[in-house]
Amino acid sequence: MQKNTGLIFAADLENGRRAINITNEISDLIDAVKVNYPIILSNGLQIVEELSRTKTVIADLKIADVPHINRKICRNVFEAGASAVICHGFTGKNSIEACIETANQMYGDVYVVAEMSHPDAERFIHHASKEIINIASQLGADGLIAPANDPKRLQKVRKQSKNMRILSPGVGVQGGGAKTAIQAGADQIIVGRSIYDHREPRQAAEKIVQDIGYTNP
């Protein structure tokens, strides 16, 4: 996925038509559109194909199964038109590797969840994040997911991951700021509700892109 404005739109809408309309409306302001379970479960995989006509699609299914199932999940979303998938890292080497091998065969990218930001994240994933980053790096993942609403942890992920690409959700409703996240080491920012729940989604996206520091060439 190419970086241009630095903004990725999280189209977590069950209304597929609305997701397509907003994506079209802000397509010049975003690098990609991210789809998650809500939109796929409500609209079917067809929505991936439809969105991919406008924009690069990242399928955020936080894939976390045994390797042969991960392969099938990846194959299905890549065949539907996705250019990238997001998988969990806590499942370990073989499960991540299955996603990366399938992505390589289908010219797709894989981003690995390295950190989460909700209050109980400390209990499990925080202990494992360093190892997850190492495995993702060794396997040749295209990047990591680390939350924008915890800049200290984001900085730590940046340090540990060296020059891997970092995509950061958690801006806006979850409390993070786009500028702070970029300063902490994020490469691209993922935003959902602050765009699609805004009265003027384009205006909201423009403001975020400004915060990121993108200037129209």
Tokens of 22: 């907003």
**Angle separating helix axes 93-105 and 67-80, nearest 10 degrees:** 30
Which residues lie below 8 Å from residue 6, measured CB to CB, with a gap of 6+? 31, 182, 187, 188, 189, 209, 212, 213, 214
Find the shortest distance in angstroms from Cβ 131 to ligand C5P. 17
Task: Pick from 91, 117, 129, 160 the residue near ligand C5P by CB under 6 A.
Answer: 117
Q: Is 170 in the site for ligand C5P (CB under 6 A)?
A: yes
Q: Is 193 in the site for ligand C5P (CB under 6 A)?
A: yes
Q: Is 172 in the site for ligand C5P (CB under 6 A)?
A: yes
The full 3-state SS of 40-71, as one line of letters, equals: HHHHCCHHHHHHHCCCCEEEEEEECCCHHHHH
Q: Is 169 in the site for ligand C5P (CB under 6 A)?
A: yes
Find the shortest distance in angstroms from Cβ 128 to ligand C5P. 14
The separation between CA 18 and the C-alpha centre of its own chain, rounded to angstroms, equals 20
Mapped onto helix, strand or coil, the DSSP state of residue 124 is coil
Task: Pick from 19, 73, 145, 204 the residue near ligand C5P by CB under 6 A.
Answer: 145
Q: Which of 31, 55, 60, 156 is catalytic?
A: 60
Tokens of 111: 């981003």
**Site size for ligand C5P (CB under 6 A):** 19
Q: Is residue 65 annotated as part of the catalytic site, yes or no?
A: yes
Taking the least distance from each CB to ligand C5P, the nearer of 23 and 36 is: 36
According to the annotation, is 179 in a ligand binding site? yes
Give first-to-last CA distance, the chain, whole Å.
19
Annotated active-site positions, please? 60, 62, 65
Which residues form the interface with ligand C5P (CB under 6 A)? 10, 12, 36, 60, 113, 116-117, 145, 147, 169-170, 172-174, 190-194
